Amino acid sequence: MKTNSITITYLSKVSFASLNGADKEVDNINPIKKITLSNGEELPYVSSQAVRRALRDGLESMGFTLSPIQEASAKKGAPKTTIKPVEYIDDDLFGYMDASPSKEEKGRGTSTTRTSPIRVEALLALTEYKGDLDYATNFMGKGVKTEKGEDIQPNIFETEVHSGIYRGTILIELDRVGAGQGFEAGELSNEEKSTRAIAFLDAFRNLWSSGRQSRFLSDISPKFIAAAYMKAKNPIFLEAVNVGKDGKINYEQLKTVVSDYEKFLTDSVFAGQEAVFELSDGVVGLKAGFEKIESWIKEYYKS
C-alpha cells in the first residue's frame, strides 16, 4: 500500500461565540446551528459548507486568485465557477459541478464534475447548548423621526451564544490534488501540487470565518491537532479526540487509535498550543506539528 492521504482532527476553543446562524423561528432571536443527540442534548456546530467557505476565503486572503463565479448553465441552477482547476487552486481543491441542459427537447443533460480532494467534517461542539442569549438593542434610530413625525423605536433582539471546545476533521487526498477530473490534458507538476497542498495547510492553520464576527469575534483556528500520514483514506481520529470535564485531552485513547491502525499509517503526530491545552509527553507544540505535516506533503510530492 502506498501513502495517499493526510487526515487531521482538530480542536478549537471559543469562550464566547455565535459561530454559524440557523433559520429563525422567532423574529427577534438569531439562532445558531445545532444538532440534537439521542439523549436530547443540543450541540452547536459550524457547517462543513461554512468551514469550506472559510478555507476558500483564507486562500484568497493569502493572495491566490479564486475562480470567478458565473451564472449557472441551467435555469434556476446553482452558480458555478469557471471550472478551470489547472488555473485556479479552488477549482482544484474544492471541486465543482455544473449541470447543462440537453439541447434536445427530451434529451438528457450533461454534467461537468470534479469531486473535492479536500474532505471536511462540520466543526462540532463537544459541550451542549445551555440556552444562553446575548440581549442587544439597536439605537440607530434614537432621536430620528419617521416621515409621519413619529419617533423611531429602538430594535430589541437576542442572539444565541455558546462557549466550549469544538472538534472538526479534514482529510486531504494527496493523490488527487492537481490530478484526475479536470486534468485530462495532463496533471500539474509535483512542485505545483506541493505548493497548493501546503497553501491549503496554511489556510487551515489560520482558519477564520467571517460570519458573525463584527460583534462576536472568535478564533476557530486549530489549537490541538491529531494528524496521520495515511496509506488508506480514513479519518481515523474523527471520533477519538475527546476532552474530559477537567478540560484535558484524553491522550491514552489517541495512542490506541495509532496502534489500531498501525498497518495503515506511515507517520502520525499530536500537537497543541500549551496556552490552551495541557500537553502530555510525546505531544509537540503546534508549530512543530504543522511543520511535520508540511514535511509529509513535501515528501509525498518530491520528484
- pLDDT single digits (tens) 114-157: 999 999 999 999 999 998 898 887 766 666 777 777 777 677 88
pLDDT of residue 108: 59
Q: Give the pLDDT band of residue 79 (cuts 50, 70, 90).
A: confident
Sequence-distant (≥ 6) Cβ neighbours of residue 55 within 8 angstroms: 94, 118, 120, 200, 203, 204, 207
Of the candidates 10, 302, 272, the one whose C-alpha atom is nearest the C-alpha of residue 174 is: 302
Which tens digits make up the pLDDT trace of 214-231? 888 899 999 999 999 999
Q: Is residue 89 part of a domain?
A: yes
**How far apart (Å, rounded) are the C-alpha atoms in residues 98 and 88?**
16
Q: Is residue 237 part of a domain?
A: yes
**How far apart (Å, rounded) are the C-alpha atoms in residues 210 and 158?**
20
Number of domains in the chain: 1
Residue 24 near residue 193, CB atoms below 8 Å: no
pLDDT of residue 103: 54
Q: Is residue 140 part of a domain?
A: no
Q: Is residue 204 part of a domain?
A: yes
Which tens digits make up the pLDDT trace of 48-70? 999 999 999 999 999 999 999 88
pLDDT of residue 190: 97
Domain that holds residue 218: 5-134+158-300
Residue 134 near residue 28, CB atoms below 8 Å: no
Q: Is residue 144 part of a domain?
A: no
Examine the pLDDT at 188 and tell me if it is beyond 90: yes
Residue 225 near residue 272, CB atoms below 8 Å: yes
Helix (H) or strand (E) holding 255: helix 251-260
pLDDT of residue 284: 97
Residue 196 near residue 172, CB atoms below 8 Å: no
Q: Is residue 162 part of a domain?
A: yes
Q: Give the pLDDT band of residue 109 (cuts 50, 70, 90).
A: low
Sequence-distant (≥ 6) Cβ neighbours of residue 98 within 8 angstroms: 72, 73, 77, 80, 83, 111, 112, 113
Examine the pLDDT at 205 and tell me if it is beyond 90: yes
pLDDT of residue 148: 77
**How far apart (Å, rounded) are the C-alpha atoms in residues 301 and 199?**
14
Q: Is residue 174 part of a domain?
A: yes
Q: Residue 282: which region, alpha, beta or left (left: phi > 0; alpha: psi -120 to 50)? A: left
For a pLDDT cut of 70, what percent of the chain falls above it?
91
Q: How many CB atoms lie within 10 A of CB 37?
A: 9
Q: Give the pLDDT band of residue 1 (cuts 50, 70, 90).
A: confident
Q: Is residue 188 part of a domain?
A: yes
pLDDT of residue 104: 55
